Chain A
Amino acid sequence: MRVWIGRSCKGTIRFVWIVVITALVPLPAIAGDPGTAKPTPSIRESATEIVARDVSAARVPAVRARAARQGSTSPASTSFFKSRPGMIALAVVAAGTGYAIYSAQHDRIHSAGKQ
């Protein structure tokens, strides 16, 4: 079906793009007295701020990461098997199953009545 696009639609589309681009720009948090407008930072300053923010944030995950690792040892999480206890559990299961399979064949008695 052919769709008629009129002038009003083109204007609408243009408006949408403006909104999207605007939303993608990281807007500085507004703090302090609303009457005191902060100067618009330069790109260099913004980048510096972003990097500093990221660097400071990177320290936090170290704690969270440890907590996350501790949390992953809980059997409730699928990441349990990536933890040390989980890997040990898998290894024990594999070893126990493997030996039992070996025993089922090696220790099997074969009756003359089934040959």
Chain B
Amino acid sequence: MNIRFMARAILFCLIASVAWAPALSAQTQTGTVEGKVVDQQGAVLPGVTVTLMGPRGSQATVTDGEGGFRFVGVTPATYSLKAELTGFASESQPEVLVGIGKTVLAEFTMKVSGVSESVEVMAASTVDVKSSATHTNITSDLLTLMPIYSSTSTGLLNAAPGINSNSAYGAQATYGNALLMDGVDTRDPQGGSAWTFFNQNLIEEIQIGGLGAPAEYGGFTGGIINTVTKSGGNAFSGLFSMRYTNDSLASNNISQEILDANPGLGEAAILKKLADYTVQMGGPIRKDKAFFFGSVQRYSATSDPTGPVANSQDISPRFNLKFTLQPSSTDTLVLGTQYDSYNVTGRVGFWPAAQATDQQTVTEDAPEWVWNAQWRKVMGTNTFLETKFTGYWGYYYLDPVDPSPFTYDADRDEYSGGGGGLEYEDRSRNQVQASLTRYAEAFGNHALKFGAEIERSHVGTKYQPYGPAGFYVLAYSGIPYYRISYGYQFEGDNKRISAYAQDQWSAGRLTLNLGLRLDHIRGSSPNSDGDVYRPHTAWGPRVGAAYDLAGKGTSVVRAFYGRYFEGTATQFFISATPGIQDYTQTPLNANGSVAGPTEVITPGFVYGISDDIRHPRTDEFNVAWENQLTRTTRLTVSGIWRKTGDFVNNVINGAQWRPVTLTNGLTNQTFTGYNWANRSSTDENFFIRNVDGYQYVATDGTAIATADPRRSYKAMMLYLTSSLKRRFGYQLSYVLAKAEGNVDNNGFGNWLGGTQWGSPNTGIINTFGELTNSRRHEIKADISYNVPKVDVFVGAVYNGLSGRPYTPFQRYTNAQLNLPTNGRKEIFLEPRGSERNDFYHNVDLRAEKAFRVQNHRFGVYADIVNIFNTATVTSRQARVPSTTVSGSTVLYQAPTGVQLARQMTFGGRWIF
């Protein structure tokens, strides 16, 4: 019997189990491929040559005495894996997808053969049986198939279950999320919002997570979006893409009924014109050694937003360049940069959006540079070193179109005259990171990682709400009374040192994911001596477990506890540095001329700040069960509990409050409010601290109430995924959730630097309830289908969301409450979140016809946003009994926001 006959007679039963184990590297931009090779009898096979082949060459290793092999520091891409040993049939797997921070496990069973035959193997499992984390990965394939587009790319967060309106798992919208691009933290160091925008066509892969995150992740209490951009490879590649729409391709979904209730809504918010193109190319400079990737985008969009503004234009030429150098098989050097010249006209400035016309808008001059240098060193199969220097520099400067003074009529709540809203913001941010990953074996298998980070960021802010005029006119019922002047000019610096250690410890079917992170944060200003903000060092434990239920890598149970701390932000402390200008008023005659000398109402002052501050944090506990239903389909069920505390905000030390009787405009019932009894002697006593425990005191010194800020989130999540590479693919999710507390999770002011806790009126009256970003029910469906014979891809995205809660409030007078600014005089009439907007349905559709010519793929597609042109009211006027918009009275519960109208966008692309 010869060898050839044996080979034909033996049935190959190669088992390659491929499981995802996103263990270690979340801030890293690489993955790991590891596994074991055995023979038919299960005996390990040392000396097997295992080759990993990818877009930038191949690397090979030999199995050790245990039959094991490992490739570390693997750049995310699609690879092929091959195992060869003389006397055995070679085994291969053609599509090994290595993702961000993921470990691909491959087990080969080799059969004796005299003829080298290759057998392709399909993945047997997609369940991660080692990790305690939950991630959603968005690949460039998904973005190609689905009508999902974000001009800033950070909006892609909302594609993941549990995340809506940029609020992730009940956390602060926008500001609570960590936004990473190739390891660069792209957040604004002032308040944590997105600063750097980037082209969606740059994306190789996005990982959205935050649940069960290991210790290398920090500086967030919401979610994480971790983006890896494309790189060049040994083959030249290119992408040419164009998108276009105009107002003739848009519908109007604002009904007359809605317009009658709120004339300020005007026409539907649509894109009047969009012309967005991208040209990209990547390839080798020297085969296997050096690669380049370049991308140029020009994004131009003119929109007609809701309200009187008719033309808002955004023009953003963006340039990206990346070099990947591999001087040796163990060293990788990545150098990248982005330049974005971001220009906006027709942006709403100081005026409310419901009243501003084009004349009262501001222009925005906002260029930026982003840089990224990384060195990865593989030291054998067990050790991997990664270092990075990343950062950005930029600014946005807003100037009013009409610099003449404006008039605000406080009685009518109306604006007239020139624009306002001069604002000059300067930013820079730099980070140095280093991490060492080490695999070891002792009482099981360990994947250890140690890392350190250093951050320095700078904020410069100049704000003059009245613009270059130097003042605005305050009027009542059409009669000018004062010229008002105020503003601020700050500079602040964030300093952070972080360190972490984590271990993924596997013994049998059980894996423990243990980690500890510390963040040492300081805030200072060039205008102050020493550090102003000195919170306690933040210690963040992460403890997770994963148990492979069946022992076959197809079903896992996970549990996790972790503590996350908020990122750095100058907004925590900036008011405690010099910069607030005097608040002045100059009396006027009825004809507008000056009637007397300027009076300083409130001199500029510096807030006090506590020496005993704890940085805001969130504790999370989650459990999950994940099961592979078929080879390409898996179901995940998760339970999530989160609690946020140690909120930092400002109070008024020494303030005393006199009870006053107020009338609830909804019920006509009376209730007790509070007048700032000793304002004249305490109006400069603003003090920054952890608000919990602060006592509101009556004029007789007795305690009225104690501030107890809190926020919690509970959710049950179902997630069913099937590969989108099949003819019919889908990702379906359902989330039942509730976010409640008395610190809202929407907007900036509620989170830090706000006025909520300055008085008991806004601190304790009806403040507890369901938060703005609390979507009781969330249904998301991404479905793709390849129509046979005509080769047309159809992708649909459905979002069904419970409407956002809102709370009726009433604005009381200065005479009643003796409080400055309108925000402090607005009191909830019912418990927070007592009302809810309508359930929101939206379906977006994409249809693409693809043509293939050799290695080139051409596609033309049409996207339709809101294909059914539904007009769900997304927000309502909450002030009782009404407010005034452009001279019209808008009653309580009248619509103030409507779903985007249906609009079609055409696109084309050439990919090779």
**Residues of A in contact with B (beta carbons under 8 Å apart):** 70, 73-76, 78, 80-81, 85-86, 89, 92-93, 95-97, 99-101, 103-104, 107-114
Contact = CB atoms under 8 A, between A and B. Distances in A.
Interface stretch (B235-243, B490-498, B649-657): B235-243
A103 B912 contact: no
Given A89-B238, A89-B912, A113-B397, A101 B317 contact: yes
Interface string B431-442: 000000000000
B485 to A, nearest CB: 18
A75 B317 contact: no
A65 to B, nearest CB: 17
28 contacts: A75-B855, A78-B236, A80-B236, A85-B856, A89-B240, A93-B294, A96-B298, A99-B298, A100-B298, A100-B317, A100-B318, A103-B300, A103-B317, A103-B341, A104-B317, A107-B315, A108-B341, A109-B343, A109-B345, A109-B363, A109-B364, A110-B365, A111-B363, A111-B365, A111-B397, A112-B399, A112-B468, A113-B422
Interface stretch (B276-284, B551-559, B639-647): B276-284
Contact of B236 (A75, A101, A108): A75
A85 B912 contact: yes
Nearest to B395: A114
Interface string B233-252: 01111101000000000000
Contacts of A97: 279, 296, 319
Contacts of A73: 854-855
Given A100-B296, A103-B341, 8 more contacts: A74-B235, A74-B855, A100-B298, A100-B317, A103-B317, A112-B468, A113-B397, A113-B424
B568 interface: no
Given A104-B317, A108-B343, A93 B279 contact: yes
Nearest to B344: A109
B283 A75 contact: yes
B297 interface: yes
A70 B462 CA distance: 61
B886 to A, nearest CB: 27
A48 B283 CA distance: 47
A52 to B, nearest CB: 37
Contact of A76 (B235, B296, B297): B235
A37 B892 CA distance: 113
A97 B215 CA distance: 41
Nearest to B396: A111
Interface residues of B, number: 40
Interface string B268-302: 00000000011101010000000000101110100
A104 B342 CA distance: 9
Residue from the set A74, A86, A89, A110 with the largest chain B CB neighbour count within 10 Å: A89
A104 B277 CA distance: 14
Contacts of B296: 93, 96-97, 100
A108 B344 CA distance: 9
A73 B297 CA distance: 25
A91 B277 CA distance: 15
Interface string B356-367: 000000011101
Given A96-B240, A96-B279, A104-B341, A114 B365 contact: yes
Interface in B287-328: 294, 296-298, 300, 315, 317-319
A19 B854 CA distance: 50
A97 B462 CA distance: 35
A80 to B, nearest CB: 6
B279 A92 contact: yes
A97 to B, nearest CB: 5
A92 B854 CA distance: 19
Interface in B412-430: 422, 424
Residue from the set A80, A110, A113 with the largest chain B CB neighbour count within 10 Å: A113
A112 B855 CA distance: 50
Given A73-B854, A85-B912, A113-B424, A107 B317 contact: yes
Contacts of A85: 856, 912
Interface string B334-373: 0000000101110000000000000000011101000000
A107 B880 CA distance: 44
Identify the 3 closest CB pairs spanning chains A and B, nearest first: A96-B279, A111-B397, A75-B236
A109 B235 contact: no
A76 B281 contact: no
Contacts of A76: 234-236
Interface string B363-404: 111010000000000000000000000000001011100000
A17 to B, nearest CB: 41
A112 B400 CA distance: 10
B568 to A, nearest CB: 26
Contacts of A113: 397, 399, 422, 424, 462
Contacts of B277: 96
Interface in B144-172: none
B279 A74 contact: no
A113 B425 CA distance: 10
B166 to A, nearest CB: 26
Nearest to B341: A104
A93 B317 contact: no
A3 to B, nearest CB: 42
Contacts of B298: 96, 99-100, 103
A85 to B, nearest CB: 6
Residue from the set A81, A86, A112 with the largest chain B CB neighbour count within 10 Å: A112
Contacts of B318: 100
A111 B912 contact: no
A113 B912 CA distance: 45
Interface in B833-865: 854-856
Contacts of B297: 100
A91 to B, nearest CB: 10
A86 B912 CA distance: 10
A58 B152 CA distance: 57
A101 B341 CA distance: 10
B58 to A, nearest CB: 14
Contacts of A100: 296-298, 317-319
Contacts of A104: 317, 319, 341
Contacts of B315: 103, 107
Contacts of A109: 343-345, 363-365
Given A74-B854, A96-B296, A100-B296, A108 B365 contact: yes
A111 B912 CA distance: 41
Contacts of A93: 238, 279, 281, 294, 296
Contacts of A96: 240, 277-279, 296, 298
Contacts of B367: 108
Nearest to B397: A111
Nearest to A103: B317
Nearest to B343: A109
Nearest to A112: B399
A97 B277 CA distance: 10
Nearest to B364: A109
A97 B339 CA distance: 13
A55 to B, nearest CB: 32
B396 to A, nearest CB: 9
Contacts of B462: 113
Contacts of B279: 92-93, 95-97
Contacts of A78: 236
A92 B343 contact: no
A92 B300 CA distance: 19
Nearest to A73: B854
Contacts of A108: 341, 343, 365, 367
Interface in B58-112: none
A111 B240 contact: no
Contacts of B240: 89, 92, 96
Contacts of B234: 76
Interface in B86-144: none
A70 B315 CA distance: 40
Contact of B237 (A70, A75, A111): A75
Interface string B215-259: 000000000000000000011111010000000000000000000
